[in-house]
Homo-oligomer: A and B are copies of this chain.
Amino acid sequence: MNAGVEWAVHCCVDLAITGQDQAVSAARFAARYGLPAAYLNKQLQALVRAGILTSTPGPRGGFRLARRPSKITLLDVIVAIEGADDAFQCTQILKATPGADPSLDYQSYCLVSKAMRAAELVYRRELKAQTIAHLKAAVERRTPNAPTLTRRSLTVD
């Protein structure tokens, strides 16, 4: 999995903490995490294309959440960065075997493919149950001064 997933999730949690009043630029995020700004900006633009963030141009521009943190799941962020494909790609090798039906879609028929898909489904269900709001709340519960430090490093006084 692309390192951009880690960056993107952290940026979303940060934006949930800093709130909607100010936009946060890629440069600010890059400075906070010691990451390459141009590459981080690419990941954030992918979140904009997926409807997770909005982006405003200009000197006080930057990124904001496009919807409430409770409506952004970990799965949304991963799919925005990595695409929606399953990790396991069935290439239908059964089609070449003796007795195979050439008209059959082995991607849905093959029992190996089905078992792999079942596992990916529980993975996705788990990622879908975790939202940016849950993560923000968990951070605030565990480290009460984290929001203040986050705001200080990301927003303009």
Residues on A facing B (Cβ under 8 Å): 1, 3, 5-7, 9-10, 13, 32-35, 74, 87-91, 93-94, 96-99, 111-113, 115-116, 118-120, 122-123, 126-127, 130, 134-135, 138-139, 142, 145-146, 149-150, 152-153
Q: In whole angstroms, what is the CA distance A98 to B112 when docked? A: 48
Known: A98-B32, A138-B111. A3 touches B89 (CB 8 A): yes
Query: What are 12 A-B contacts defined by CB distance under 8 Å?
Result: A10-B93, A10-B112, A33-B94, A33-B97, A74-B119, A99-B145, A99-B146, A111-B135, A115-B134, A115-B135, A119-B126, A119-B127
Contact of A153 among B6, B97, B127, B130 (CB under 8 A): B97
Q: Is the CB of A112 within 8 A of B96?
A: no
Which chain B residues border A126 with CB–CB below 8 Å?
Answer: 118-119, 122-123
- The distance from the CB of A92 to the nearest CB of chain B, in whole angstroms, is 9
Q: Is the CB of A6 within 8 A of B93?
A: yes
Q: Is the CB of B91 within 8 A of A112?
A: no
Known: A10-B93, A33-B96. A115 touches B74 (CB 8 A): yes
